[in-house]
Structure 1
Amino acid sequence: MSECDPGTTGSFTDAARARLVMAYEACELADLARACVPIGGHELNPDGTSRAPGAVLADAVRVVAAAQRFFEAAAVFERMGGADWQVIGDVLEVSARTAQLRCAMAETAFRELLSPERCPTEGEAGRLRAYMAREPWEVALDLDEWVLRHEDGDSDLGPTPVSGGLVRRGPRRPA
């Protein structure tokens, strides 16, 4: 099945697919942030300064970019779940119009990913997002494994902490 063939993904709601994209972005953010925690002996000069000036800042820029993608994915999930711009604005402590200006492009991009006529080919990120939106089951299973590997005293998440929560559409009825 190609990333441009929706296959069986039509069985998942758009909100479930948006939530899955959000989960993926959270996973990426967590991995990037976690990688910044250890301090390797090879990183520092004897006086404690960086052996590679700018490297830590470059890591921080990647974390901030991942946080922005997570934020946008969260807004898209809320919109796919029925939240209006006023609700999103209230959470962001801005007007509904400002919230719409900040998040509408991300929502539009997500809706385009779900369009069967359109297969985004703009770089690796576009292909990855298309895959996440169109092949949610495989992505969810990968995220199940990630969550279970990183479980640290969390309440019992069960064997399917991501895939078990995906909501499928009800059976289609004849028109």
Structure 2
Amino acid sequence: MVEGDPAAPYTDATRARLEVAFAAYELADLARAAVPIGEHELSPDGTGRSAGATLADAAHVLGAARRFFEAAAVFERMAGADWELVGDTLGVSARAARDRFAVAEVCFREGANGPRGETSWWRAHLAEQPLEAARDLDDWVLRHRDGDGDLGTTPVSGGLVRRVNTGG
């Protein structure tokens, strides 16, 4: 559903939704990696051989979940939601929602790194090659589908929307 001029940039909401998709991919991959129990992971008495490794894995999953949460809030804002709706959805006040997500929104709008200063190769890739970034996610979705029905061949990139060029 790529609308408008094919050379036109994607809408802010489209770019924000791609960030949500990437955050979900990252979260899913990290969580999936924590499921298998390695052949030499446990000692004969059932304790871990590598102290702290499981907790470190869980911390990475939690960080990814936070990035997913922030990306979802920024997407809702780019898609037109006001702080009242964001707050209502989360069961908090509009002010609390704004306090929690305003920095992430500003970082997104300015194309800056994440609110905690983390460098994002994804944000750079998305800014330079948004369609390629979406196609990378298409590939990931198609490799990992599990009874998801017919997703088509472009489950991510097929829904992208470009800004409509009014020729002004």
Q: TM-score, normalised by structure 1?
A: 0.86
User: Equivalent residue for 2:148?
Assistant: 154
Gaps spanning 5+ residues in structure 1: where? 1-7
The answer to whether the 8 Å contact 2:8/2:164 transfers is: no
Cα offset, 1:10, TM superposition: 4.5
Give the aligned CA root-mean-square deviation in angstroms: 2.1
**Greater share of residues in helix:** 1
1:131 to 1:124, Cα distance in 2 relative to 1, 3 A: farther
Flag the 1:101–1:119 CA change in 2: closer, same or farther, 3 A.
closer
Question: In structure 2, how many angstroms separate the alpha carbons of the residues matched to 1:160 and 1:67?
Answer: 25
Structure 2 spans left out of the alignment, 5+ residues: 1-5
Q: Contact conserved, 2:87 with 2:97, CA < 8 A, in 1?
A: yes
- Deviant stretches of 4+, over 3 Å: none
SS in 2 for 1:125: coil
Aligned to 1:19: 17
In structure 2, relative to structure 1, the CA distance for the partners of 1:124 and 1:135 (3 Å cut) is farther
1:56-95 to structure 2, matched below 5 A, reads 56-95=54-93
Structure 2 partner of 1:126:
120
Q: Who is 2:47 aligned against? A: 49
Q: For residues 134-172 of structure 1, give each alpha carbon's deviation from its aligned partner in whole angstroms, at most 9, with x where no partner exists.
A: 421010000000000001010210000000001111123
1:11–1:56 CA distance, 2 compared to 1 (3 A): same
Q: Distance in 2 between matches of 1:9 and 1:84?
A: 30
For 2:27 and 2:7, the matched residues in 1 are separated by 25
Q: How many residues align?
A: 162
TM-score by length of 2: 0.90
* Separation of aligned partners in 2, 1:61 and 1:124: 15
Match in the other structure for 1:144: 138
In the alignment, the residues of structure 2 paired with residue 133 and residue 90 of structure 1 have an alpha-carbon distance, to the nearest angstrom, of: 31
SS of the residue corresponding to residue 120 of structure 2 reads: helix
The 1:119/1:173 distance shift into structure 2, 3 A limit, reads: farther
Corresponding residue for 2:167? 173
8 Å Cα contact 1:9-1:136 kept in structure 2 = no
